[in-house]
Structure 1
């Protein structure tokens, strides 16, 4: 059971599961999930959204058969959208299951009621599931599964069918091959006003994975996937995807790396519409890890992605473009002493978007993100101190900015410093604090002069002090105080303070761990918000979570 309160919303989530413990005679299972959400609007109006889902089984085993009753119930009432928006489905009936070591068959049949606002339908609820596993054909093992669900109403019919087939073979201790095929189809009919609309979806997926263990340290893997989707709603839509993936993995004593190559070709066809498209993508990536010594390590990640997006009609749709992405991430870790750990991270992301047709060429741009972040962790006895700082620069530059009347290129810069301290005073009692400073600015960027016109700047501060105890009976208790400050400036035509925000208040959280059966946690915080752009307000947030196993 969960309860959570925000400034304008209240959420209740309840999950209940129980089952009989006696393996002989009649047995039963019951599961219920209930969710409620309350939204209080600015005028004080209360808007509710409730959802409840219940499933139950009452059965008895006559090996290898199982016979019994089932019930399913789902109800949703959403008054946040409209005053009358209730949908529901309730069903009850008989089911039977046949189990063997390598396969099973399940069937069910019942009667159900479906409600969509003011419309109520009665009809049959039937289904079938059959599966076999560990079928052997020479050196191959196979798995098959089929599932069907049908709804028969007087005015509507719904159905879902799915099939899964898989074959696996291990040629030797170094190589293997697997083939998997799935097919699913779905048809749903529902009311729109006084008419009935229908949606049909078909999904076909074929996947082959081949791997070779070239040695105890080297692995080569090839994956091919073909997927086809058909969607029928007003007009038809067909999606076809062809994907290849190659991976080489080396696990060395000091030096390990992974090389990846992925190619994909996806087409989207809309019947009767000129919005067809084709997207071809190639990805090259590598992850490298080198251990200089047990206390020194460096990690490098490289990635290159090229996307080619084409549309057949360049008159109506001129979104044809090429995109290129480059990613470089370098992390260096060094344990300077048993007490001190140092870590440096350097990150670069480059994105280039190039439109093919002149109507969109003004949107050609480069996005460049650079980040460097050192971190230090000091731990001595009962004291743990973590310090981290980060510098980030994000530039977006349009290729033809100098030809336009107004520059559109912009830059965003941010500096962050954080420091946390935790001291274990005695036993499981600790005190500590956390501080974080953020300095940001953004504005127009002039690439030729490599200059910036600052339009907005911000300064954010966050402070936290806390006391925690984890040794009082089975309780874990935290008590603290938060302070958040944010100041915003506008720099055009001159620098002036535009907004000043201060949010502060205490918080309290507790977690109770008695046995494996009971888990109880709760949190509450009181906040006092002062906003120069609005009024001073005081509000509370919190949650309660209870889990009990019978």
Structure 2
């Protein structure tokens, strides 16, 4: 009775202490978020893109005082005709003082900066939040944290200031009879007139282990977030309202309800898991100032409503010689789009927008069933069999939307593996898939096609004291056939075949020196195809070669590798089905190096990159690709 009264008091005081997948680290005013010490730097250069990122995490703690710092900085530079620079910075400073085990006070400072020199809708923004908080612990498992402060928000030149206030509450695995309840609540307002940002979050998870064989988990979730942002006003809106930037509000609400049961019999190889889930989502867009002098259908804001119903189950049977799993899932989804009517605008224009939005409405049903079976045939032989089937039904209620279609995908795979001795193992793998797409209406039926893919692969690994080598070869054939290619020459059936050989070998020369090489050869062919006679006429051939041999010096705390990187991509037209005519070639060769240094137990440094001499269609150029990482565990 006492537990029941305690549970009712918690629900009355904090009705949002009920939701799914709870983690204490989800609370913002929490020392766990700031209880790490490290410094990471990364520089990466690929093609014409340069990326730099840095992260610092540090904290200090004694018996009653805690202060923590988290900072992330990211910068991206893209060199094209015009140079583009984008910077992002996120800074968090947290402090807490323990007055007692039941009462704590502190502060949180947060500063976010964003800058992009491109002419995009929002290319500059900054947010500065500073708040004081009071953390109360009325129960051992319950934390309540009210907070308040100030916020300053700068977006595309518009600066708004105001109050920031809210509360957090967390319930951590409170035992109530047969249930163990965890929950999280967040409530926050940002009053930055003329804008307002809000956040509401509530979830709960109630877990019950009825006995040692059976468990049940019920989860619920609610989240609502409103974001107001500026965007450049068009000329008619500027003339009518005398504003430079308009305001648009986006309100997103999410609801979630789930029940999951697990049946795990003791001393039994059988287990069963089932889940049922209901999800709702609403998205509303509202523009503050709308001109009716030059009305158009785009002047109307929209609302999106989504509903999903999901079910999934898994049955497993595990023994020393057999591991079998059967999985099934079904999901039904409905999405609706509606315009928001604006007083003073023509009904004719509204009806036009309503028709356009109605055209986006859709429903879908997705069913998936899969089967996996792993046999341990003997101490040396393993067999894996897997089957997968998926069906999608996609419908649109609009008479002018012809995207209605059915899709089927089936995949089957068999892999046999044998350990011949302690040094060598080999495998053979065969896989086939069938994918069929059927559009219901004749307006899109020219896209109807069947895709058949067959793969056959084999390989092995040899490992001795000084030599380890992994090799594999695979052939793949893709036959895509369109149903009505005779009526529409744009869609033509084709065959795509590919052969790949891969190798990765390591040779240990001495205690500190080794040789490593990796590479592949890939040949691809594509051409017209006729399924009725199973004949093809190759049109295009691609030959691709990659090789990267390297010598390594490994002295535990210092690793240095140097070698050569080679890549060649040749493209050919195939004349008369047999004769190849080269139309392009891309060739790259150059030195590659890698350095990894453990300077101390806490400080590590790594670089990897290569310098390319590129030859492409009689053009010669040089390019550097480089990556650098510096990690310091404080």
The aligned runs of 1:126-275 (5 Å cut-off) are: 126-193=165-232, 194-215=245-266, 216-233=268-285, 234-271=301-338, 272=354, 273-274=357-358, 275=360
- Return the structure number with greater helix share: 2
Query: Residue 75 in 1 paired to residue 113 in 2?
Result: yes
Partners of 1:546 and 1:442 lie apart in 2 by 45
Q: The residue matched to 2:446 in structure 1 has which SS?
A: helix
TM-score by length of structure 2 reads: 0.83
Query: Residue 470 in 1 paired to residue 470 in 2?
Result: no
Partners of 1:114 and 1:404 lie apart in 2 by 55
User: Pick from 72, 94, 102: which aligns with 1:33?
Assistant: 72
- Return the structure number with greater strand share: 1
Evaluate the alpha carbon distance shift between residue 407 and residue 154 of structure 1 in structure 2; reply closer, same or farther with a 3 A threshold. closer
Partners of 1:96 and 1:65 lie apart in 2 by 7
Contact 1:518/1:549, CA 8 A, preserved across alignment: yes
> Which shows bigger deviation, 385-394 or 96-105?
96-105
Partners of 1:407 and 1:444 lie apart in 2 by 11
Evaluate the alpha carbon distance shift between residue 82 and residue 278 of structure 1 in structure 2; reply closer, same or farther with a 3 A threshold. closer
Partners of 1:122 and 1:177 lie apart in 2 by 47
The aligned runs of 1:101-120 (5 Å cut-off) are: 101-120=140-159
Q: The residue matched to 1:362 in structure 2 has which SS?
A: helix
Partners of 1:395 and 1:511 lie apart in 2 by 46
Post-superposition shift, 1:269?
1.1
Q: Which residue of 1 aligns with 2:538?
A: 454
User: Pick from 39, 51, 73: which aligns with 2:88?
Assistant: 51
Post-superposition shift, 1:81?
4.3
Count of aligned pairs: 544
Query: Residue 92 in 1 paired to residue 130 in 2?
Result: yes
Deviation string 1:316-365 (CA, Å, 9 cap, x unpaired) is 11111111110112111101122211011111121111111122222111
Contact 2:122/2:231, CA 8 A, preserved across alignment: no
Partners of 1:321 and 1:520 lie apart in 2 by 53
Contact 2:565/2:610, CA 8 A, preserved across alignment: no
Evaluate the alpha carbon distance shift between residue 406 and residue 451 of structure 1 in structure 2; reply closer, same or farther with a 3 A threshold. farther
Query: Residue 297 in 1 paired to residue 382 in 2?
Result: yes
Partners of 1:476 and 1:162 lie apart in 2 by 49
Post-superposition shift, 1:103?
0.9
Post-superposition shift, 1:407?
5.7
Evaluate the alpha carbon distance shift between residue 40 and residue 404 of structure 1 in structure 2; reply closer, same or farther with a 3 A threshold. closer
Contact 1:125/1:150, CA 8 A, preserved across alignment: yes
Partners of 2:603 and 2:490 lie apart in 1 by 63
Deviation string 1:462-498 (CA, Å, 9 cap, x unpaired) is 12211112225x1122111111112111125774210
The aligned runs of 1:481-500 (5 Å cut-off) are: 481-491=564-574, 495-500=580-585
Post-superposition shift, 1:84?
8.4
Partners of 1:235 and 1:226 lie apart in 2 by 24
> Which shows bigger deviation, 253-262 or 417-426?
417-426
Deviation string 1:288-331 (CA, Å, 9 cap, x unpaired) is 00001122101111011111111112x21111111111011211
Contact 1:407/1:444, CA 8 A, preserved across alignment: no
Q: Which runs of 5+ in 1 are unaligned?
A: none
Partners of 2:614 and 2:168 lie apart in 1 by 57
Contact 2:122/2:155, CA 8 A, preserved across alignment: no
Larger relative contact order (C-alpha < 8 A, sep ≥ 6)? 2
Q: The residue matched to 1:202 in structure 2 has which SS?
A: strand
Post-superposition shift, 1:106?
1.3
Q: Which residue of 1 aligns with 2:238?
A: none
Runs of 4+, deviation exceeding 3 Å: 80-84, 402-407, 492-495
Partners of 1:345 and 1:465 lie apart in 2 by 28
Partners of 2:583 and 2:55 lie apart in 1 by 47
User: Pick from 81, 88, 99: which aligns with 1:62?
Assistant: 99
> Which shows bigger deviation, 191-200 or 246-255?
191-200
Partners of 1:434 and 1:85 lie apart in 2 by 43
Contact 2:203/2:222, CA 8 A, preserved across alignment: yes
Contact 2:112/2:126, CA 8 A, preserved across alignment: yes
Partners of 1:336 and 1:144 lie apart in 2 by 54
Partners of 1:509 and 1:81 lie apart in 2 by 39
Post-superposition shift, 1:402?
3.9
Q: Which runs of 5+ in 2 are unaligned?
A: 1-40, 233-244, 286-300, 339-353
Partners of 2:54 and 2:172 lie apart in 1 by 36
Q: The residue matched to 1:293 in structure 2 has which SS?
A: coil
TM-score by length of structure 1 reads: 0.95
The aligned runs of 1:377-396 (5 Å cut-off) are: 377-396=461-480
Deviation string 1:263-283 (CA, Å, 9 cap, x unpaired) is 111111112422211101111
Contact 2:156/2:230, CA 8 A, preserved across alignment: no
Partners of 1:432 and 1:308 lie apart in 2 by 50
Contact 1:214/1:220, CA 8 A, preserved across alignment: no
Q: The residue matched to 2:555 in structure 1 has which SS?
A: strand
Deviation string 1:344-390 (CA, Å, 9 cap, x unpaired) is 11111211111111222221110111111101111122011222111
Partners of 1:510 and 1:220 lie apart in 2 by 49
